[in-house]
Chain A
Amino acid sequence: MNTSMKYALIPVAAALVALAGCTSSPSGADYDKAAAEVMKNSFQDRGIAKVDRLQQDEANRLCSAADVAGKPLDETTAKAIEAANLKTVKMPSDGQFLGDWKEGEKIAQSGRGLTWSDKAGDANGGNCYNCHQISKEEISFGNLGPSLYNYGKLRGATDLNSPAGKAIVEYTWGKLWNSRAYNACSQMPRAGHMGILNEKQIQHVMALLLDPKSPVNQ
């Protein structure tokens, strides 16, 4: 082969075959290792998206492995992930859970931010409508998450200061901050925990979902 094909180092797949050559065939653990190696070799920094984004935290590592295996995590592991993620939830520093639903609607509409074609410091969107129905007016919504239309109303959150209302407010805040606090392998981004949305933005999205005046609850 021509020498200029510098990329043609020994492929990971070939290395694995050689390694497993003396035994029968590669095991699942061998494939895990090969996949990690391939991941490490195959990506490069571009713009704000650096290769350190490939580092998985414990929850991502365990949930990915469960997805590959095609079976959910065992109860104990799931509970441990939820507990660890619940600990990361920061309640609003000014004690205000709800902002302006109109601002929340804009954040829910926006899917921008954090790709390699975005700039550092650009305002990130919440990506909410990509997966959820939210207000009735917006008919272009995804279906990977449950419908959030009438979110507050359906949960009886008419008086947000009542004990029942407060519980829903706090749960929703936690869910937006770190979705895995309540569902170990949730597919929903951890908006607060991962710094996708800031506290102020989460307050606005909270209002969109829970403010009795929000179109979501009409």
Chain B
Amino acid sequence: MKLTACGAALALGGLIAAGAVHAQGNATLDGIAKYREMLQDGNPAELFEMKGEELWKKKRGPKNASLEQCDLGKGPGVVAGAFVELPKYFKDTGRVQDLETRLITCMETLQGFNAAEIMKTPFGKGEMANVTALATYVATASKGMRFNLSQTHEQEKTMYEVGKRLFFARGGPHDFSCASCHGTDGGRIRLQDLPNLTKNPGDGIGFAAWPAYRVSNAQMWSMQRRLNDCYRQQRFPEPKFGSEATIALGVYMGVNAKSAESIVPAIKR
């Protein structure tokens, strides 16, 4: 399967290169659609999901414990359906958490890892790579379910309102905000379609499509990483991993995506 994915990635690379200047735009888009179809049976994200499942069940960390008693919001050990209700307020930590920060809380309380240290680890490295795999596993268990975030706790409402304000906050040398790209229907940067994240952009689009496997760099990207790269392109300084800004944006996008179907793990350009 790995080989097939590699070969297909090469083929897609060629497609993109050819498409960049001369080929017809539609041919490129068709090529990408066909490629996605080809990968239906072998999305490399499955490897991350499998790794995540192993990590979930394995006794690890200073406390030599598994994560099987981790409460992701639906009670200890309940994985299915958790993803489509996150971020949400957690009583034990007294804050709104997304999937990744909640997993790190469990890694600390159950397994004895140092949460602050994990949060400082670069994406794709060490325990951060494990968090991404775990997030892929947990999210995949909600595949086909519909987003339904809670807005009952006062902190959840506040995070929505804060997220909305951050979404529209223009700044940096280019005066960009999230809304510069994601505030209208049918928008495109070059040939890349942009979801309108101020409302439900549709099943499996936007918030309902991450974590996703990115073909262009052969990496598994979580929502935290997706946001990190959005802010890079926005010419902003770097959002700290798990910071309130990233959680608030998650709440804003997740609430807006109410009833959108999750296709996670998705596969992206």
State the A residues within 8 Å of B (CB): 1-2, 4-8, 11-14, 16-17, 20, 25-26, 28, 31-32, 34-35, 38-39, 41-46, 49-51, 53-56, 60, 63-64, 67-68, 114-117, 127, 129-131, 138-144, 187, 189-190, 194-196
Contact = CB atoms under 8 A, between A and B. Distances in A.
Given A4-B108, A38-B244, A117 B159 contact: no
A129 B183 CA distance: 19
Interface string B220-257: 00000000000111011111101111101000000000
A49 B236 CA distance: 6
B119 interface: yes
Contact of A43 (B21, B108, B179, B236): B236
Contact of B168 (A14, A64, A190, A196): A64
Given A38-B245, A140-B25, A43 B189 contact: no
A51 B175 CA distance: 14
B173 interface: yes
B46 interface: no
A2 B108 contact: yes
A20 B161 CA distance: 14
B187 A115 contact: no
Contacts of B169: 35, 39, 56, 60, 64
A10 B237 CA distance: 23
B184 to A, nearest CB: 7
Contacts of A26: 154, 158, 161
B190 A129 contact: yes
A190 B190 contact: no
A64 B177 CA distance: 8
B33 interface: no
Interface in B98-148: 105, 108-109, 114-117, 119
A166 B39 CA distance: 56
A138 B165 contact: no
B21 A11 contact: no
Given A32-B165, A64-B170, A143-B188, A12 B232 contact: no
B153 to A, nearest CB: 9
B197 to A, nearest CB: 13
A125 to B, nearest CB: 11
Contacts of A53: 171-173, 235-237
Given A35-B161, A144-B181, A11 B166 contact: no
